[in-house]
Amino acid sequence: MMSLGIVLALNHLYDNWTIAGTMSAVYILAVSAVTPFYARLFDRLGQRRVGFPVLALQVASMLVFAFAAMARVPIAVLFVLAVLMGLCQFSIGALVRTRWAYALRGNPDASLLNTAYALEAAVDEIVFILGPILAAFLATSVSPVSQLFVPTFAAGIGGAVFFSLRNTAPPVIEVVEVKPAPSDDVDVLRAASRGPETGSDTAVTLDSGGLRTPRRPNRSVLTYPGIGPLLAVFVVFNISFNAFDVSMTADYKALGIEKFLGLQLAMFALGSCIGAIIFGTRKLKGSNWSQMVGFLCLLTCGYVMFRLSMDYLIVLGVLEVLAGLCVSPLFATGNLIVKDIVPEGSLTEGLSWVTTAGTVGTSLGSTIAGVVVDHAGPHAGLMIPWIATACAIPIALLGWRLSRRGSDKAGKAVEAVEASL
């Protein structure tokens, strides 16, 4: 909501869409740059220890920006404040998903985590439905900058409550009590006869409740098989969302029916919310990668239908609800893939990288769609969503292959260790 609030505030204050859009993009890119850094701090030092100080900086920077915009300070100063505000943001969604994984660890029903992630996605979609409507109302009916204070207070109050919850906070180091084997144990005697093993950098560890313990200390999340293509998928297909928004905004403006734009865009989010509920209550067949590829194919077909029906607004609204059914499951499967690949101690960092990739994609979508719409019109702009989503499909297939190859190597390592015992 903050990025939309920036656009609405700057356009009302300075009557310049270019400045408003550019400042919003700068803010988003600043957020993207620091999100993985904060995630690593949360993983290494703990959510509560890091959360309160960073939350205080976040709220303070948001308040400074809002009051500066109200005072109409020079544009250059606002740009600097927007960057500083972005540098103080962290991904609360990644922290929530990490807590879900920790709270449900060891549960024999693995589908519960799918349900939890889907529930969170549904709540996110409710925010995406109501947020733009509330922001537009405040900007036009109360004050051009009033919508900037809503996410500020929401972040402050919600963040304080979240970090005060101790029971669901994952520990920095989970202590496990291990009873030593007696000195005359067969395995102990066998290991002592072989002596210490050196030169092997492959450590095989057991899973704890489905969360994999780290093989190597301080290993970057980006080096795990499949993570790179997964992030590329999120960058590419997230281009479609803001490209769709920009193209439809231009189309509605040309038709002179801008007052119905919020309702039209809400249809997409409504479908996504319904999709999250369905995904969370159904156990689908196949791996998470196969489900992601399937959802990408369905969403691509939906975007093609958007382009063909964009002049028939009622039909388009129905198609938005149907295509939106795939959106939340796409994000949920992406988060589940990260949970399956990265170790427990780096889960927040891994989930934050997914959020960062999506943020970069949406920023690119606004930029690309703006250029296309200016030069070729909204009909050409609405070609971008299906092209971007279609391009994400082969990348997902590559990630699926790399991930399976990495799993096969891990399985062989386990077999080799078991054979040597």
pLDDT of residue 77: 92
Higher local confidence (pLDDT), 11 or 236: 236
CATH superfamily of 2-171+221-407: MFS general substrate transporter like domains (1.20.1250.20)
- Looking at residue 198, its pLDDT comes to 44
Digit-coded pLDDT (tens) for 136-148:
677 667 777 887 8
Q: How far is CA 238 from CA 90, 233, 361, 385, in A?
A: 19, 8, 5, 9
**Could you tell me how far CA 150 lies from the centroid of its own chain?**
22
Mean of per-residue pLDDT scores for the chain: 80
The full DSSP string for 372-414 is HHHHH-HHHHTTHHHHHHHHHHHHHHHHHHHHHHHHHHHHHHH
Is 38:90 a contact under the CB 8 Å cutoff? yes
Question: How many Cβ atoms sit within 10 Å of the Cβ of residue 120?
Answer: 20
Apex CA 36: angle with CA 34 and CA 41, to 5°?
Answer: 95
Angle made by CA atoms 347, 351, 353, in degrees to the nearest 5: 120
Which range among 105-109, 121-125, 204-208 shows the weakest confidence by mean pLDDT? 204-208
Is a pLDDT exceeding 50 seen at residue 211? no
Strand, coil or helix: 343: strand
Q: Is the pLDDT of residue 58 over 80?
A: yes
Residue 403 has pLDDT above 80, yes or no: yes
What residues have CB less than 8 Å from 183, skipping those under 6 apart? none
Q: What per-residue confidence (pLDDT) applies to 22?
A: 77
Q: What residue segments make up the domains of the chain, in order of their start?
A: 2-171+221-407
The pTM of the full predicted model, rounded to 2 decimals, is 0.69
pLDDT tens per residue across span 325-360: 999 889 889 988 998 888 877 887 888 888 888 888
Q: How far apart are CA 71 and CA 66, in angstroms?
A: 9
Q: What is the pLDDT of residues 351-385, one digit of tens each?
A: 888 888 888 888 788 778 878 888 888 899 899 99
Q: What is the pLDDT of residue 200?
A: 43
pLDDT of residue 296: 96
Q: What is the pLDDT of residue 57?
A: 94
In this predicted structure, the answer to whether residue 184 has a pLDDT above a threshold of 80 is no
Residue 408 banded pLDDT, cuts 50, 70, 90: low
